Chains A and B, each alone.
Chain A
Amino acid sequence: MKIWLLALAALPLAAQQTAPAAQETPPAPLTTPETTVTGSVDLGYRFNSVGGSLDTFRSVVDMGSGVRLLGLDLTIESATRKWFDSINVRGSGWGGDPYTTAHMDATRHDWYHFSFDYRDVAYFNFLPSFADPTIGNGVFLDQQSFDSHRRMMDFELQFLPGHWIVPYLGYSRDSGFGTGITDFVNGINSYPVEDRPRDSSNNYRGGVRLELKKFHVTLEQGGTTFKDDQQVFTSNQNFGNNPGPFLGEQLDVTSLTQAYGVRGDSIYSKALLTANPTPWLDLFGEFLYSRPDTNVNYSQYNVGQFVDLMPLLLYTSELDLLTGVAKQPHTTANLGFEIRPVRRLRVIESWMTDRLHNASSAALNQQLLTPAMTTLLNSFTDLLVMNYNREQVDVLFDLTSRITLRGGYRYEWGDGLTSGALLSGFPTETGQLKRQVGLAGVSYRPLQRLSLSVDFEGSGGDRGYFRTSLQDYQKARIQARYQVRQSLVVGANFSVLSNQNPNPAVNYSFLSRDSSASVTWTPNNSKRVTLTGEYTRATLRSNLNYIVPQDFTTGNSIYRDNVNEASTLVNLLIPGFGANGPKLSVGGSLLRSSGSRPTDFYQPTARFSAPPYKHMTWYGEWRYEGFAEPFYQYEGFRSQLMTIGVHFTR
């Protein structure tokens, strides 16, 4: 190899030796285009310091210490454009952050477009205030806690992008894994036990897009596979949440193995259509069909002292084997048009239907050791049916060049059928949906820099699937934006939703209001100072009657939420160092809420960056996270995150 390198290095010398003695003006060297790489790399080290509940900190923030690749953003432009025009590579959070992302896309004009996306999101949930019956005993053990990951990746390859026929292939994968604590429920007792969830879904798809002048059709055929191999187990003696004796017997579990072997698959089809057969008519339609199936093989073996209340039976071990299958054909169709009969008028009409039918059956073989062996065989069937339909018409009229009025009507109807509740005595129960909704809106632009829009919908209400469904409701939204000057933009939003269900048994009253204001100031084309800020106030009031299970009296579920939130960010170029001088950013968000779960959550931040060289910037970032809940003081935390890093650009 070295010999070859020496030979290559000597070639220019040899060329000089053979050059003619009489040197003429050498021809201008041909500038061959070079592949360029531009972008940035952001490397840093983060220190964290946490006071208070580490578990809550991990459940809410979960940023750790250590070296991190905080950001990567590169673009490679090919000079020859032989195999690709450009490749973009992006990534963030590598090195142990809870949100790790990667992205790559490559394009060759008229040939292909390829994209790859990857995310690994770590979930840590361990909140004593959530789902913990032992709080009353002073024991903090969350029986619905997890330390898990979800990984998603997606590939897509399009051929001939920009041509009238575009075939494409895609593959996506979503998987989850980790550890946790869940509950093993048996008779009158429940036992916190170890949980190891494992699931994954794969999606394979291929299709073709036909994009012609007068119409477009997309046809896609895909399939999915799913598996869930969750395992729940314990090998320690556990007295559960009811540690007292029952009929003189101490209930416990000494050994447990639950194994879920769930396999699923689905085929699906998708057809999309748009067409504009005449200049005054646009048509659109979709037909979507999927048929997911699930096959279940479940086994459970538990040893200890247990009780079955129906019939009253004490036993020492149990072996359950269940097999089942569920099939759920699901069809969705949508058809509509936009017609423009005269210049200022547009009419949009659409119909939609969504139909789903899940039919399932299972067989359970249950063997109990009492100490005599008792074998129980059960078979189950279950169903869930949903039929939803919607028709909507919108009329948009340009009253003047600055005012557009909109009015419309939506009719939604459907039904849902499921198994009857335990106490109802009926094999099935039905919910019905019937909703006639009036729609209205105005868009007003008195000036080029001022915009105001009002959006309203309301329904007299008739029937909803659930007691909390939208029934007699009014919803409105007002948005205003004003560009005071080139560098200053202010905005204000207001939205309100009021929902009532006056049925005496329900007596539901719901009101939520959001008001927000924002400002963006970028004087002198953002050269020295930029400022963004917003303030939001959100209130929610809900009252609803419910039945207290133990005595069947009527209670009132009251929920209140009153949130004040402000966030801002000020970027300042330190004077005296030129346009590429040091920069200071200060801001963050402050949230304070009162009501049913009062919460204070403060996240101020500051960042200082200084560029010692043209393509390199040192920076330090400080971030404070303060979380407090007056009702659950043991869950509060305060953390300081300090990051020191270097940012390279090219």
Chain B
Amino acid sequence: MRADNLIPRAWPPRFASAPPPPPGTRPFRAGHPRALVVAATMYLWAAAASAQTPPADTKPATYAGSEACQMCHEDIYKAFQKNPHAAVEKDKRRGFETRACESCHGPGSKHVESTAAADIRNPAKLPVAEADHGCLSCHLNQPTHVGRIQSAHARNQVSCVTCHAMHKSAEELVPRRRAAINAECAGCHTAEWASFQRPYKHKLPEGAMSCVDCHNPHGSVLAHSMRTVSANEPGCLNCHGDKRGPFIFDHAPVRLEGCTTCHEPHGSANPRMLTRADVRFVCLECHANTPTTAAASHTLGGVPPSFHDLLSPQFQNCTVCHVKVHGSNVSRELLR
């Protein structure tokens, strides 16, 4: 775990005054009329002031080119060459040819002259939404971000650069190794990672899986940013295809509330990652409706017939007989 990744790198001390956005990118927010008023006021003020004081350098900054950045920021420049964003340097389509640094930091001519931090845009010091705008000016219209607007990460002000390191290697920009992905997520989701230390769990600590096998950190149409497979089926079925169905006799909770109705996917002390220590209580907590109580509570799950004597070991674990508990193609009672 990189220490610098534990802290969102876009924590802002204040709203920074960003230089004008590069050509070809859209301005961030609404409020053009207000901006015009402010600009006109400032122009009038500047015009009045110019009559009394020597003329200040009010010209907007222009692009200086990446080589100018390299002069002082040699280490960052070198590291950046291994970053996929280095391709921007030669990319004519995006309009940032020879000025990849300025594609995120804005025109840097003033900063080159003054070397003052205030003269360059630093996304790490911008408000999260504004910093993300820099990324989304190129990446907004891409499929990974269809759900991003709805994702919990976006709502909780988790910036793009919290997970994606801009100046480093491709692996640090978008971690691909499972251990690296898991470490990245565990940096914030500590309690979730602790669940994987339980005996019955998905094999993430062993490196067989990663968090993004099940979750889409950019958001999803399903709750908890769960991935989908085959268009709109839950991501669990990507590996557990035998539970997919449709079955002749479906078990309603599998479809209505998903696998987490009965399983703790991150890990459990109970075998099969079940939510309860005894199998019978997993079942009987729902299968306890008489016709009267079902009507009153509007819930599904009827009580089993009375020959299920829970005092007998045979009936204490329902799945001994109801072997096709995820759905059966032969038996309505899920027996075969």
Contact = CB atoms under 8 A, between A and B. Distances in A.
Contacts of B143: 209, 216, 218, 272
Nearest to A515: B191
A216 B321 contact: no
Contacts of B305: 422-423, 549
B47 interface: no
A465 interface: yes
B95 to A, nearest CB: 11
Given A150-B239, A466-B257, A565-B194, A212 B141 contact: yes
B256 A266 contact: no
Contact of A559 (B26, B177, B276): B276
B288 interface: yes
Given A99-B203, A131-B319, A133-B317, A296 B248 contact: yes
Interface size class of A (residues with CB under 8 A): 35 or more
Contacts of A488: 3
Contacts of B176: 88, 103, 105
Q: Which 5 A-B pairs have the closest CB atoms?
A: A421-B302, A216-B141, A201-B241, A99-B208, A280-B30
Interface string B220-251: 01000000111111000011111011111110
A334 B221 contact: yes
Interface stretch (A12-20, A25-33, A335-343, A607-615): A335-343
A143 interface: yes
A596 B277 contact: yes
A546 interface: yes
A416 B197 contact: no
Contacts of A522: 3
Contacts of A549: 284, 303-310, 315
11 contacts: A130-B279, A133-B317, A218-B143, A226-B244, A241-B320, A268-B232, A328-B245, A404-B157, A467-B286, A506-B297, A561-B269
Given A503-B297, A505-B297, A380 B30 contact: no
B70 to A, nearest CB: 21
B182 to A, nearest CB: 13
A650 interface: no
B55 interface: no
B73 interface: no
A495 B193 CA distance: 14
B301 A467 contact: yes
A242 interface: yes
B329 A262 contact: yes
Interface string A483-498: 1001111010101000
A324 B329 contact: yes
Interface stretch (B8-16, B60-68, B104-112, B113-121): B8-16
Given A290-B233, A294-B329, A546-B285, A551 B306 contact: yes
Contact of A288 (B93, B221, B293): B221
B87 to A, nearest CB: 6
Contacts of A59: 271
A529 to B, nearest CB: 13
B289 interface: yes
A538 B195 CA distance: 9
Interface in A438-491: 441, 443, 445, 447-451, 453, 455, 463-469, 479, 481, 483, 486-489, 491
Contacts of A260: 329-330
Contacts, number: 497
A203 B272 CA distance: 27
Given A294-B329, A465-B300, A491 B244 contact: no
B303 A423 contact: yes
Given A264-B246, A284-B145, A596-B277, 7 more contacts: A133-B315, A174-B238, A274-B140, A386-B256, A423-B291, A443-B156, A593-B198
B230 A290 contact: yes
Contact of A382 (B250, B296, B316): B250
B332 A382 contact: yes
A546 B230 CA distance: 37
Contacts of A322: 329-330
B194 A516 contact: yes
Contacts of A589: 197
A331 B221 CA distance: 12
A466 B299 contact: yes
A396 to B, nearest CB: 7
Given A268-B231, A294-B246, A226 B241 contact: yes
Interface in A289-320: 289-290, 292-294, 296, 298, 300
B146 interface: yes
Given A119-B208, A258-B336, A431 B298 contact: yes
Contacts of B244: 201, 226, 264, 292
Given A135-B313, A445-B12, A190 B257 contact: no
Contact of A190 (B30, B276, B321): B321
A567 B197 contact: yes
Contacts of A421: 287, 289, 294, 301-303
A231 interface: no
B59 interface: no
A116 B293 CA distance: 52
B291 A424 contact: yes
Interface of B is mostly: loop
A162 B241 CA distance: 33
Interface residues of B, number: 134
A93, A105, A382, A552: residue with the most chain B Cβ atoms closer than 10 Å: A382
A279 B26 contact: yes
A134 interface: yes
Interface in A319-335: 322, 324-328, 330-332, 334
Contacts of A392: 150
Contacts of A99: 203, 206-208
A380 B248 contact: yes
A322 to B, nearest CB: 6
A552 B303 contact: yes
Interface in A198-231: 199-201, 203, 209, 211-216, 218, 220, 222, 224, 226, 228
Nearest to A564: B194
Contacts of A328: 245-246
A617 interface: no
Contact of A420 (B284, B302, B303, B316): B302
B317 A384 contact: no
A549 B285 CA distance: 12
Interface in A572-597: 589, 591, 593, 596-597
B13 A448 contact: yes
Interface in B255-281: 255-257, 261, 269-272, 275-279, 281
Max chain A Cβ within 10 angstroms of own Cβ: one of B178, B252, B300, B323 = B300
B304 A133 contact: no
Nearest to B154: A348
Interface string B185-220: 001111101110111100100111100000000000
Contacts of A593: 198, 269
A616 interface: no
A529 B76 CA distance: 25
Contacts of A164: 93
A242 B309 CA distance: 13
A288 B231 contact: yes
A386 to B, nearest CB: 6
A382 B249 CA distance: 6
Interface stretch (A3-11, A355-363, A641-649): A355-363
B321 A453 contact: no
B283 to A, nearest CB: 9
A429 interface: yes
Given A185-B321, A382-B249, A273 B231 contact: no
B18 interface: no
A468 B285 contact: yes
Contacts of B195: 538
Nearest to A134: B313
A432 interface: yes
A453 B149 CA distance: 18
A401 interface: yes
